[in-house]
Amino acid sequence: MSAFMTIDAATLHSMFKQDDLVLIDVRNDDEVARGVIQGAQHIPLSSLPQAFGKLSKKSSIVFYCHSGIRSAHAASYLAEHDYHDVYNLAGGIIAWANAGFTFSALK
């Protein structure tokens, strides 16, 4: 059975030191327009089935959304497709902001 790990905002913040970290925002376009966690790629959840093949199985992949529900679905999807280093940010960007971390415009 494939699984993913759920992490908190402080753990994600510490993971930024990793060279192989891939951070993916699965929110909708209108949500992303309000800001993203710096360094994130935007792949809407609905586009993940078409886009996941471009993600390296050698990377640590962290998904987030607004509150952690959609990103949990995304993490589960990748885990079911034999990705092993997959994480979900518990509480999403809300938890990130509540932990005192900043976000910025998508680049």
**Residues taking part in catalysis:** 65
Q: Dihedral sign, CA of 105, 9, 40, 65?
A: negative
DSSP conformational letter for 104: B
Q: Report which of 26, 23, 1, 2 is spatially closest to residue 78, judged by C-alpha positions.
A: 2
Q: Report which of 76, 79, 26 is spatially closest to residue 51, judged by C-alpha positions.
A: 26
Whether the CB-CB separation of 61 and 26 falls below 8 Å is answered with no
67 three-state secondary structure: coil
